[in-house]
Amino acid sequence: MKMLICGKGGSGKSTLTALLAQQYEQKGKDVVVVDTDESNLGLHRFLGVNPPTDLMDHMGGKQELMGKMMSAMKSSEGMMNMQLFEKVWKIQDIPSACISENGRVKLVSIGKIHQAGEGCACPMGFIAKQFLKNLKLASDEMVIVDTEAGLEHFGRGVEEGTDAVLMVLDPSYESVLLAKKAADMTASMKLPMYFVLNKVTPEIASQMKKELPVEKIIGEIPLDQDILAAGLSGKTLSGFSSAIEPVVQNIVSVTMNS
């Protein structure tokens, strides 16, 4: 299964990605976390690994990919027919330099913004879309995609290579608006979509549910001081508090059975 995690900036996408990766690993899955957020510099710390080589750099770098894309756009069908992968990949086909691993959890980074003025992030989105569509999984393998903030990945078509979308909402009006828009988009793509409410009290969760389809909400995560401290210090997320563990277990159960 390939599951995409999305949400507004600061909602807790990377935190939930790391917690879910741990839980899927405990369920016997080989987990590949795909970092498609060109601005996220800390996900590897949550997973307890060093940053891998960007997949984009392995494939020639941004400038080479930009050149290929510009050339393809000269014809009406150029971009539609442009293929970056000559064959279907399995996890073992991912270049070793582009993987950092901790146990059965592997991290793959599509690409990052490294220099001022280096150009737009379009090549990263194009690689992410084709990589996910091209990657074939075995029954004991799981992919979790951590996306950039907002909805741009929908415009890039990254979701086309996934099986389900999980949106993280913090207690904000913007999160609710994004959730409604994302729900419309996933419905048009016929993709299952779920919501996780993060950093909430029971009272706040109850208020948010008035604005959302309740049947899509599969988890309510309270504000947790240990997670906040780990996020501030850049430490590995390890273990669960008694309040969070059953929530994460339920998310995993629902998504594995979808």
pLDDT digits (tens, 9 = 90+) for 165-207: 999 999 999 999 999 999 999 999 999 999 999 999 999 999 9
Which residue, 204, 146, 147, 152, is CA-closest to 176?
204
DSSP percent split of the chain into helix, strand, coil, nearest 5: 45, 20, 40
Give the pLDDT of residue 124. Answer: 86
In eight-state DSSP terms, residue 223 is: P
Q: What is the CATH number of the domain that holds 123?
A: 3.40.50.300
pLDDT digits (tens, 9 = 90+) for 114-147: 778 766 778 888 899 999 999 999 999 999 999 9
- 36: its two tokens: 């498609």
Dist. CA 145–CA 134, nearest whole Å: 14
pLDDT band at residue 78, thresholds of 50, 70 and 90? low
pLDDT digits (tens, 9 = 90+) for 10-52: 999 999 999 999 999 999 999 999 999 988 888 999 999 999 9
pLDDT band at residue 85, thresholds of 50, 70 and 90? confident
Domain membership of residue 176 as a residue range: 2-256
Work out how many domains the chain is built from and give that number: 1
pTM: 0.91
